[in-house]
Amino acid sequence: MTQTETHTTAIHNKDLIPRAMVRAMFALVMAVLVLVTLARLTDRPLIATPPEGDVVKSRELVMSGDMSGAVTVRAPDGGLIADLGPDKGGFVSGVMRVIERERTKHRVALEGPVTLRRHDTGRLTIHDPSTGWSADLMGFGADNAGAFAWLLAQ
């Protein structure tokens, strides 16, 4: 038997993925789809969300930067809060690019402040009032949230 004949035989082998496994995967996808559809149609409340808590400290920030990772953070009055180079911008620069992308999608001005908030639960969130976008920064790890906690403390 040549190599071509062996390859052709393997392709036509019906036991590559057992039929029962394909049916089980299809049933699982359909079950998830039905559950999500029912939850949305019945307006089931979200139960696996972090607690909001009251805002204990907030600060407006105006961020600008470039694709190198450098980012400048200023107060709305123009006062410099931080000037982070490409080696230090990291996560702050990444969040700035997400905010710019959201503002582009919503066709609003790219400039403008965002609000950084610390809640009494210890969580940090960032909110863009021009688009309604927000993110819980604690979900990105302690080091990344710490970068914004440092901006809040400045």
Containing domain of residue 25, as a range? 3-41
Measured CA to CA, the distance from residue 93 to residue 11 in angstroms comes to 48
**Residue 124 domain flag:** yes
Is 80 in the same domain as 138? yes
Residue 116: predicted pLDDT: 92
**Residue 49 domain flag:** no
Is 17 in the same domain as 83? no
Is 12 in the same domain as 63? no
137, with CB counted inside 10 A (0-12, 13-18, 19+), is: buried
Is 31 in the same domain as 77? no
**Residue 46 domain flag:** no
**Residue 101 domain flag:** yes
Going by C-alpha positions, the residue among 69, 68, 57 that lies closest to residue 115 is 57
Is 99 in the same domain as 26? no
User: pLDDT tens digit string along 11-49?
Assistant: 566 668 888 999 999 999 999 999 999 999 998 888 877
Q: How many domains does the chain have?
A: 2
| pTM: predicted TM-score of the whole model, two decimal places | 0.66
Residues of the chain with pLDDT under 70: 1-15
Residue 46: predicted pLDDT: 80
* Exposure class string for 101-134: b at 16+ Cβ within 10 A, else e: eebeeeeeeeebbbebbbbeeebbbbebebbebe
